[in-house]
Amino acid sequence: MVLDLDPDFLAVRPGDLVVVEVDRTMAACEFADWWIGQVIHVVGGARSSRVNSLFQVVCVDTGLVRTINADLVKRILRSKDLS
């Protein structure tokens, strides 16, 4: 049995649809625990630019662009490469 211990956010690329956990500092999302967005930009980490650190994500419901920490991405729904 092989366990994949890498978090999903390490595989996120621009164009992916992702499930984002609500950051409690986001006042616009008070009524949900998660939201769905499309990644438009990926920022690499300071120690390694290959490790995702921040994402710019467009909320599919509101159209708001938000910059989020990579660890708030809980699942990749669809990669642009699979379409």
Domain count for the chain, please give it: 1
Residue 26 has pLDDT above 60, yes or no: no
Per-residue pLDDT at 3? 45
Per-residue pLDDT at 25? 61
Coil, helix or strand for 8?
helix
Contact 56, 70 (CB under 8 A): no
Give the model's confidence band at 4: pLDDT under 50 very low, under 70 low, under 90 confident, else very high: low
Residue 33 belongs to domain with CATH number: 2.30.30.140
Q: With 0-12 CB in 10 A as exposed, 13-18 as middle and 19+ as buried, what is 3?
A: exposed
Facing residues of 43 across strands? 54
Number of CB atoms found within 10 A of residue 17's CB: 17
Per-residue pLDDT at 75? 92
- 78 or 27, higher pLDDT: 78
Residue 1 lies in a domain: no
Closest CA to 68 of 14, 17, 20: 20
Per-residue pLDDT at 57? 97
What are the tens digits of pLDDT across the range 27-38? Answer: 555 556 899 999
Question: What is the span of the domain harbouring residue 23?
Answer: 8-76
